[in-house]
């Protein structure tokens, strides 16, 4: 099991936040859209898990670790949707290195919330 943000010592958390928060590149409206997209993808997690458990899908995908698959799927959906669709369409450009870093940082900070949603949905 991967460590969660809460499992780090306060010193490690402070260091991670210092490193992560020193490179702020997204505009406030972009940050808001990214947070909304993360929320929307979290809401979809129970449906993704339900679909994966359908007989017609479970035999095809042959997933060994359902929660890791759903985490990767959710993470990829957020990044793909935001970086490709939203950013390119609305900003007219690909995200810069700093913007990509902030997208990754935002996902890192919300990873525990995403995993908790997966574990809640997987237990149903």
Query: Using one digit for the tens of pLDDT, what is the confidence trace for 29-84?
Result: 899 999 999 999 999 999 999 999 998 887 788 898 999 999 999 999 999 999 88
This prediction has a pTM of 0.75
102 found inside a domain = yes
Residues in contact with 16: Cβ distance below 8 Å, sequence separation at least 6, in sequence order = 8
12 found inside a domain = no
The structural domain count of the chain equals: 1
Domain limits at 42? 28-122
57 found inside a domain = yes
């Amino acid at each position: 099991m991967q460590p969660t943000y809460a499992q780090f010592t306060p010193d490690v958390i402070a260091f991670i936040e210092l490193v992560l928060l020193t490179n702020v590149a997204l505009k406030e409206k972009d940050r808001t859209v990214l947070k909304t997209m993360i929320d929307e993808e979290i809401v979809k997690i129970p449906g993704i898990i339900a679909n994966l458990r359908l007989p017609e899908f479970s035999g095809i995908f042959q997933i060994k670790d359902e929660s890791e698959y759903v985490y990767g799927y959710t993470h990829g959906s957020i990044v793909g949707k935001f970086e490709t669709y939203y950013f390119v369409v609305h900003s007219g450009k690909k995200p810069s290195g700093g913007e990509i870093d902030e997208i990754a940082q935002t996902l890192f900070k919300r990873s525990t919330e995403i995993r908790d949603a997966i574990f809640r949905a997987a237990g149903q």
